[in-house]
Structure 1
């Protein structure tokens, strides 16, 4: 089943992506390319958000542990080490 966001489907987004690739290879109309990229990026973000809730629900069903609170608690626990690693890079 395809998720619908702002009356856009995955097929329509893929068509937009292919159209964008065609335009990029032809190097024409930069304004149109930017508009299509902005639209595609926004809609992909919505798609990822919907999938995230599905992943959380499936994780809860399989493990009876809520994924997001557990992840955030672990992140809180290890945040100082992560910051140190990032600073060293």
Structure 2
């Protein structure tokens, strides 16, 4: 999930973030990573496959609230990092 949300929040605009998110949850966008298995063999896997399968309800909620979740992207770049990483509680 961290890779998925990180990629969406690095987008240059809200519309681009929404397009990236849609492609990820629909399976049209992959992030291939190399993992080492129990016996030392390496394997290429899609880092987004497991969240798509196991966190489908969370992704559905995020999809419904994507405009709110990506609101920080509507601000100038110099404010984005601080606002998306600072807890206000």
TM-score range, shorter chain: under 0.3
* Greater C-alpha radius of gyration: 1
| Relative contact order, higher structure (CA 8 A, sep 6+) | 2
Structure in which a larger fraction of residues adopt helix:
1
Structure having the larger proportion of residues in strand:
2
